[in-house]
Amino acid sequence: MNCIVISVNRSGPDIDPSENVLREQYRDLLRQIPLMYLLMTINAGAMAFVASRDMPASTALGIPLVLITLAAARAITWIRRRGRDVSVDRMRQHMRGTMIGAALISLLFGGWGLLLLADADPSRAGAIALYIFFGAMGCCYCLQALPLAARLVVLTGALPVILRLLLSGDSYLMAMGLVFVMVALVVLRTVATNHSAFSEMLQSRAELTALLSALQKSEEHHRYSVDLNPQLPWISDPDGSICEIGARWTAMTGLGIEEGMGEGWIKAVHPEDVKRVLDSWHAALRMQDNPMVDIRYRLRQADGRYRWVRGRSVPRFDADGTILKWYGNLEDIDDQVTAEIALQHAAYYDPLTGLPNRARFGQQLETTLAQGLARGWTTGVAVIDVDNFKSINDSMGHAAGDLVLKTVGARLTAQLAPDAMAARLGGDEFALILPNLPDVQCEALVRTILQAVSQPITVDESLIEIRVSAGAAMWPADGARPGEILKSADLALYAAKAKGAGDVERFRPEMRDALEARKTMLRQARMAIHEGRILPFYQPKIDLACGDVVGFEALLRWNHDERGLQPPHTIAAAFDDGALSTQLTDRMLDMVLADITRWLDEGRNVGRIAINGSPVDFKRDDFAERILSRLHATSVPPSMLELEVTESVFLGQVSDTVERALRTLCAEGVTIALDDFGTGYASLTHLKQFPVDVLKIDKSFISKLDAANADDFAIVHGVIDIARRMSVRTVAEGVENQAQLDQLCALGCDIAQGFLFGSALSAGRLPTFMDTWQQVRHQYRWHADRGVASGINQLSNTG
């Protein structure tokens, strides 16, 4: 191997004798020095303008006039040097002149600053010092190509002012002087480091150029380099025909080296990838500017399996720009692609049934309706629910319930045409997309599918009857948009289940008239808002590591004339109404903040209070601003507020609107919690896209922890593990007994809430609860090593 040695002899400080380095220094100075003098001119002019109001004209204007004149002259001198062919000796002469000139002008600048400081009012001394100091620092950055000049600028321009501040006897000015010293040291260090890196980079570039030249002269050395490459290297001629390939080709693909030459390598590419690979390769061969290839495809291995590889290649040109050869390599990325595919599948497919989840269903429904609009066909949508599924779970166990869901999913898929889709929306609810379906055939087709699905299965020698109900709707007759057609199918499903299990209903417009219960809810909600009957109740959250009350969740309650205090589900329809949902949220927010303000005034630390945000809230662009304006008006720290959102918030929303609202709140210090985690769709997608601080594990999973249910244990374990890896805290909802608490502590859950610790409290009872909790907690001691509390039942009955 030929070695290229570059010998460097320095002839002076900062002026590198290496011609290439010197020329690059000079080019940089041609750009930066005029800018430096411009900054100095602006700085001197600005300070002169301000100083002229309070100080003699000779001091305020005379000296800066000289400064500006000198700076302008030097700037013009350097500007005129641009584009001129200057010898190396002249470059060195110019650079020495720059060091002297910069030092003298900076000395004048610093001296002027001292004069101004001597006559200045103490209240203005700091501003004058800032003018001088930052002017000098700006010059330093412009002189990075010449570090000695930068040091001289600091020495002559900034140092006198710094000394003046340090010796002023004023503590404020002395502190400012110390800060200036530290900043100057950092700037000088940065200038020196940048210059050193700059010089080393240029020298490395020269060495690399020489090395490449040596490599071009040695074909034998070149072949050795190819063979020893840790990847699979190859070389082709300018026309793309492989002429050299690494010896590992045979071990990897089972094909001989000769078979891989020319275009024989294409035999090992997966048949589905051949056209894409060849198109990319031939397109690069025709490319004029910056041709290159970077493509991923599957390559057959010696054992017949296929693995994902990344193929990259770039050309080598001669002096005239003609391609001499192509150099490339193959990198095995099968593990990376497999992980990407698994993540994509987890985000858009249900792990139990393998069917598309709600997110994927929504995407496909939009695509199908767009195709229908373009091609003039109608599309059927069906929502399917497994009848009596809860009783199957309760009587036969979750394993049997899971088998039912998987069986229903498989049977639905088997009944569909290739262009149709079956999806699991969540729980025991499925949905179908039936493209190019005539309206008159919709109900009959869905009924046929249900008959095929509704066949019994045997589990542990027990026969389980599977019955499903369905609601069907047609696009565009029953809804123009995806959300509308899905809602029509949902209404039809409700009607079908009202008639009895195992039935099918086609959507009819009059179904909407049957929603009297919804109207009643809306009416009661309006009355409760108008008459001030909305109240927040607070359920405590407990830190499982130490037993402290770390906050509360604010839960909506309302007073009915006859039935008394009512839970929020009795007016659930109001949360889907734009106006009412906004009024309910505002009412809850106002009352919660008023309670927090009162507790703060009393000196009581209640931790972080969580409120719920509904999907309707996020449809308004001002949701974040509504919250923040109230926080600012009450002076409640944003860090005391937590916003809980369920995955339904992301259904049918404009993603960037939701993300903007959450990020705005997060930036102000409001905590974002993802509620009911694991019960919705594409939770992995949400964790990646949105600023989530807390994951709330749904009580449906927590309730089974004490029953030694492996599936629910695995889900809870997985959620906690994911949260820990993503630095997200976890809150377990619905903790009702000691066995559940023990499991959560063992898994490392952060926070818990539920009836075990206490039910929701009115604002008036909350202080008493906290006092009693602390007393009983200290009495029975919270064992951090086991994460449980002795006497927990007595704790939960306090307050």
Query: Which tens digit of pLDDT belongs to each residue from 2-60?
Result: 333 333 344 455 555 567 777 777 777 777 778 777 877 887 777 777 777 777 776 67
pLDDT class of 683 with cuts at 50, 70, 90: low
Place of tokens 């394993």: 399
Q: Using CA atoms, how far apart are residues 182 and 476, in angstroms rounded to an integer?
A: 70
User: What is the pLDDT averaged over residues 746-750?
Assistant: 93
In a domain, 784, yes or no: yes
Are 303 and 366 part of one and the same domain? no
Q: Which amino acid is at 407?
A: T
Rounded to 10°, the helix 88-119/19-51 angle is 20
Contacts of 3 (CB under 8 A, 6+ apart): none
pLDDT (average), residues 253-274: 84
Check residue 249 and give its pLDDT: 80
Asked whether residue 179 falls in the same domain as residue 261, the answer is: no
Please tell me whether residues 427 and 543 are part of one structural domain.
no
At residue 788 the predicted structure's pLDDT band, cuts being 50, 70 and 90, is very low
Supply angle C-alpha 754, 756, 761, rounded to 5.
Answer: 60
pLDDT of residue 228: 58
Helix (H, G, I), strand (E, B) or coil at 735: coil
Average pLDDT on 311-324 reads: 84
Residue 564 lies in a domain: no
List the one residue out of 164, 161, 212, 213 whose CA is nearest residue 184.
161
Q: What is the pLDDT of residue 416?
A: 93
CB 651, CB 615: distance < 8 Å:
yes
Q: Is the same domain home to 475 and 603?
A: no
In the structure, what pLDDT confidence band is assigned to residue 600 with cuts at 50, 70 and 90? very high
Task: Collect contacts of 455-463 with beta carbons under 8 A, ≥24 apart.
Answer: 455/411, 457/403, 457/404, 457/407, 459/396, 459/399, 459/400, 459/403, 460/400, 462/396
Is the preceding omega at residue 476 within 30 degrees of 0, hence cis?
A: yes
Residue 4 lies in a domain: no
Residue 18 is predicted with a pLDDT of 64
Q: Do 292 and 355 sit in the same domain of this protein?
A: no
Terminal alpha carbon distance of the chain: 84
Whether residues 619 and 724 share a domain: the answer is yes
Least confident segment among 86-100, 197-211, 372-386: 197-211
Identify the residue with better confidence: 163 or 555. Answer: 555
Least confident of 111-120, 266-275, 350-359, 664-673: 111-120
Does one domain contain both 85 and 132? yes
Q: Does a structural domain hold residue 337?
A: no
Q: Is residue 565 part of a domain?
A: no
| Angle (nearest 5°) at CA 272 between 266 and 274 | 25
755: in domain: yes
CB–CB of 451/445 below 8 Å?
no
- Domain membership of residue 13 (yes or no) is no
Q: Which pair of tokens denotes residue 516?
A: 């009297």
Residues 770 and 659 placed together within one structural domain of the fold: yes
Quote the radius of gyration of the chain (alpha carbons, Å): 37
pLDDT category at 458 given cuts 50, 70, 90 is confident
Same domain, 494 and 619: no
CATH of the domain at 792: 3.20.20.450
- CATH no. for residue 275? 3.30.450.20
Q: How far apart are CA 403 and CA 720, in angstroms?
A: 26
Q: Sorting pLDDT into bands at 50, 70 and 90, what band is 760?
A: very high
Claim to verify: residue 319 and residue 183 sit in the same structural domain: no
Q: Which two tokens stand for residue 354?
A: 């393998």
* Position with higher pLDDT, 374 vs 777: 374
The CATH number of the domain holding residue 427 is 3.30.70.270
Whether residue 418 is predicted with pLDDT greater than 70 in this model: the reply is yes
- Residue written as tokens 């109240």? 535
Mean pLDDT of 562-580: 89
Do 369 and 496 belong together in one domain?
yes
Per-residue pLDDT at 598 = 96
* Distance in angstroms (rounded) separating the CA atoms of residues 91 and 562: 96
Alpha-helix runs per DSSP H in 16-86 = 19-51, 57, 63-81
Tell me how many degrees the CA angle 462-466-468 measures, rounded to the nearest 5.
165
Q: What string of DSSP letters covers 464-523?
A: E---EEEEEEEETTT-SSHHHHHHHHHHHHHHHHHH-TT-EEE--GGGGGG-HHHHHHHH
Instruction: Choose between 654 and 677: higher pLDDT.
Output: 677
Does 472 score more than 90 pLDDT?
A: yes
**Cβ proximity of 652 and 673 under 8 Å:** no
- pLDDT for 596 equals 96
* Range of weakest confidence among 131-145, 334-348, 736-750: 131-145
Write the pLDDT tens digit of every residue in 205-252: 767 777 777 766 665 555 555 555 557 788 888 877 888 887 778 877
- Residue 545 CA to residue 606 CA, distance in Å, equals 18
Residue 344 lies in a domain: no
The answer to whether the CB of 129 falls within 8 A of the CB of 173 is yes
Which residues form the domain of 719?
533-552+581-796
Domain end residue (candidates: 188, 213, 238) = 213
- Strand 293-300, strand 323-332: pairing: unpaired
Least confident of 456-465, 567-576, 661-670: 456-465
User: Residue 761: helix, strand or coil by DSSP?
Assistant: strand
Tokens of 347: 């985000």
- Judgement on whether residues 546 and 501 belong to the same structural domain of the protein: no
Nearest Cα neighbor of 29 from 135, 133, 109, 148 is: 148
Residue 787: pLDDT band with limits 50, 70, 90: very low
- The pLDDT value recorded for residue 245 is 84
Rounded-to-integer distance, Cα 268 and Cα 274, Å: 9
Query: If you count them, how many residues does the chain have?
Result: 799
User: For tokens 């002008």, what's the residue?
Assistant: 105
How many independent structural domains does the chain possess? Answer: 4
